[in-house]
Every structure is written in C-alpha cells, then in structure tokens.
Amino acid sequence: MIRVNCVIQADSPADAARAELERGLVDIHRARYPDATVEVTFQAVAEGYMFTEGQQSTSSIVAIPLGRATTLPEREEFLRAVCDLWVDVTGCTDHEVVVAITSGAPAAESADSDTSTSSDTSTLQEA
C-alpha cells in the first residue's frame, strides 16, 4: 500500500478541498501504477505552527513513498502532475506546494534510475 501523507494548514484552501485532493492523488497514482493501493492522509497544522522564511506558511507538503524504482523522467512527470493538481484545486502557486517522492525497490541499472532508499527524495523545481 502507498500511503500519501499531506501536511496542510488548518482552515486553508487545501483543508477545504481534502476530498478533491484525495481523489486527484489516487487518480494520478492509478493512471501510472494500476496495481497500487493508495491511501491519502492529511495532517492539518494549526496557525502558528508552520513557517516559511519566518512567516506563517501557506505551503502544503505532499510526501509520496512509491516503493518502486523510477527514472528521473518518470519522477518529474509524476511530481508535475501532483503539483498541477494542487495548484488547480487550491489556487496556490507552485511555490506553495512541496512534493517529495521516495522509492526503494531496486532499479535496472541505468544512469537515470533511482535506486534510492526511503531516505532519498526527488523534488520538482521550476526553472
């Protein structure tokens, strides 16, 4: 089972759109990994407990342990899909969502395969 963990601000647009975000995250997974069982959890952080650059944060954090090997292009496409979902549903900017993917299954040997353990993450950054 893949357990997607989302850390969001309480009373934020993401908090209000949990059901839509959950459906979107499950759909993104199923489109790429039809055999995966996905569970999405949300942790709403109260005001005053989450900061960015010393200011009350408006960001969301989405952590996705895939449990399988992925290539860099696969991760980039997956990360982009999750970021686009979050922006479309919540109205946030790309800078207000942090998406991290971890994978742990051995990959076929290639220059762009991820053979990381769960402690390594890949994040999408805009150019």
- pLDDT of the chain, 127 residues: tens digit per residue: 889 999 999 999 999 999 999 999 999 999 998 988 999 999 999 999 999 889 989 999 999 998 888 889 999 999 999 999 999 999 999 999 999 998 765 444 344 444 333 333 333 333 3
Q: For residue 23, report the phi and psi dihedrals to the nearest 5 degrees.
A: -60, -45
Determine the Cα–Cα distance for residues 93 and 116; give it in Å rounded to an integer: 29
CA 45 – CA 121 distance, rounded (Å): 23
| pTM exceeds 0.75 for this model | yes
Q: What is the dihedral of CA 2, 32, 93, 101, to 10 degrees?
A: 40
